[in-house]
Amino acid sequence: DSTVEIEKLNTEITKMSEEIKKMNEMLEFKDKQLLEKEEEIQTICEQLIDTCTSNNNKEKQTPRNMTFDKSFEESTQTSNQNDDTEQKESSDSKPSTSLPKTYTEHVFDALRALKLRKAFRKHAKCVYSIHLSSFENGKYLGSGSHDKTVRIWDVNTTKELVSFEGHSEPVHCVKFSDYHYNNNHGVVIASASNDKTICLWNLTTKKMLATLKGHQRGVKSIQFSSFSGGRYLCSGSNDKYVFLWDVGTYRLLYAFSGHTDNVYCVDVSPLHSTAVRLWDVDTNKGLTTFKGHTGFVYSVKYSPYDGGNIICSGSYDKTVRLWDVRSGQEIQTLNGHSSWISCVDYLPFIRIRANIDTTDANIICSGSADKTICFWDVRNNKQLFKLTHETEIYCVQFPSAKGTKGVKKAKLCYGGGDGRVQFWM
C-alpha cells in the first residue's frame, strides 16, 4: 500500500543521503591530500632554488608608495625610487610564495609584475569608493569622495571627464549602471551619500538624471543587480534599512527591515551589529544571518566562483571571514590586519600564458586602515603577501579587462586617505 511505498522511498532517501555524505567526506580528504602534496612540492622547489647558482634577472616593480611586506623583501631585493613608475632591478631575487609553482604562483607573479601606470589626483579629500565600468573595455573610472564630489575619468588618458557636485555630504559609494548603458541611455553612474540620497548622473549631459529619496539617514552603499540586466539597485543606510529600487522607473520596490543598526554595505547586507544578513529579493524575507564578527561589518562580496555559495566579509574587528551560504556557517577566519578592514575582493581572471586565462578561487584580498592590501590563501589560512601604501586603503577593485590586443592583464585599482586613485597594470 501507500504506507509501504513511502517507507521504501524514505529508506532510499536515507541511503542516498549517507552516500552523498561519504562522497563529500572523500572530497574533503582528497583536497587535504592535494594541499599536503603541494606543500611537499614547495619544499622541494625551495631547496632547488637555494642550490641554484644562476641569478634571476627579472625586473620587479616596487615603487616608493607601494612596498612588499618584509617577509617577501627577504627573498626579493627592492628599492624605493623617486618616481612612482621606476624600479631597481634585483639580480639575485628569488620567487617567494606560500605555494609551489601552481596557478596560485602564476597569479602571484602576475600581481608582483604590476606597475603604477595612472594616478588620478583631483579629489581634495579621501576617496571612499571607486568603480570601473564593465562596458567599453573598462574605459571609465568613477570615484566618490569625502569632498562630496563624484568624478568620472578616462582610464586611458587619466583625464577627468566630469565632476558632479550635487551632494551636500560625503559620497560613500559609486557604481556604473549597465542597465542604462545597454538600453541606450548613455554612461550613467549612481552615487550614495551621507545626505540621505542616491543620485544618478549622466556623463553625456553632465547633469543629474534622477534622485532617489527614501532613506532617513546617510546611504553607505549601493549595488546594481547581477540579474535583469542590472535594472535593480540595492542600497544600505544608517537608518537600518536595505532598499531595493527599480532604476527603470526610479521607484522604491521593497524595504528590507531586520537590521538593528547601521547598514554599511550591500552585496548581501552587513550591518553595524556585527552580523551579515542574506535576503530573498523575490519574497522580501530574510534567509540567513551570519554571526561571528565582533565589530562592525564594512564590506561583503559574493564569490564569483563556487556558484556564488561563498560570502567574504571584512570587519572593524580586523578579521576577514568566509561564510557558506548553503550551511549558514562560518568556514574561515583570516587574521593579520592591525586595523579595521574597509574592503574585500576576489581576484579576476588573469592571462598567465598565451591562450590560458586563469584565476585562483582560493585567493582573496582585503584593504585596511592599516595602510595595507593583504592577499590570502583561504585553504590554509595563510597570508600570501602584503602591499603597503602611504595612507589608509578605503576601496579596492581588481578589474579583468582586455588589453589593446585582446590580452587580459592583471590590474589593480585602489583609493585611499590621500585623495588619490591609483591604477596598476
pLDDT tens figures, 176-230: 999 999 999 999 999 999 999 999 999 999 999 999 999 999 999 998 988 888 9
How far from 221 is each of 100, 167, 215, 298, 353, CA to CA, in Å?
Answer: 39, 15, 12, 10, 37
CA dihedral 108, 113, 118, 121 (to 10 degrees): 60
Pick from 357, 381, 386: nearest CA to 370? 386
Residue 289 vs residue 206, higher pLDDT: 206
- The DSSP result for 350-388, as a single string, is EEEETTEEE--TTEEEEEETTSEEEEEETTTTEEEEEEE
CB 323 within 8 A of CB 310: yes
Helix residue ranges per DSSP H, 52-102:
70-73
Give the C-alpha separation, 389 to 37, whole Å. 35
Looking at residue 31, what is its pLDDT?
A: 60
Share of the chain above pLDDT 90, in %: 33
How far from 419 is each of 71, 126, 264, CA to CA, in Å?
Answer: 29, 4, 21
Average pLDDT over residues 96-102: 46
Give the C-alpha separation, 221 to 199, whole Å. 12
Residue 328 burial (CB count, 10 A): 13
Burial class (CB in 10 A: 0-12, 13-18, 19+), 386: buried
Looking at residue 406, what is its pLDDT?
A: 41
Looking at residue 79, what is its pLDDT?
A: 31
The domain ranges of the chain are 1-53, 116-424
Beta strands in 106-241 (DSSP E): 116-120, 127-132, 140-145, 150-154, 160-164, 171-176, 188-193, 197-202, 207-213, 219-224, 232-237
Answer yes or no: pTM beyond 0.75.
no
pLDDT per position as a tens digit, 310-344: 888 999 899 999 988 888 889 889 999 999 999 99
Lookup: cell for 6: 513511502
What single-letter amino acid sits at 8?
K
Phi-psi region of 381 (alpha: psi -120 to 50; beta: other; left: phi over 0): left
CA angle, residues 308, 412, 293, in degrees to nearest 5? 50
Buried-state track 53-69, b at ≥16 Cβ within 10 A, e below 16: eeeeeeebbbbebbbbb
Mean of per-residue pLDDT scores for the chain: 76
Q: What confidence tier does 298 reach under pLDDT thresholds 50, 70, 90?
A: confident
116-424: in CATH 3.20.20.100:
no
Give the C-alpha separation, 167 to 208, whole Å. 11
Burial class (CB in 10 A: 0-12, 13-18, 19+), 356: exposed
Q: What confidence tier does 35 reach under pLDDT thresholds 50, 70, 90?
A: low
Looking at residue 283, what is its pLDDT?
A: 58
pLDDT per position as a tens digit, 37-55: 655 665 565 445 444 434 4
Looking at residue 40, what is its pLDDT?
A: 60
Looking at residue 87, what is its pLDDT?
A: 36
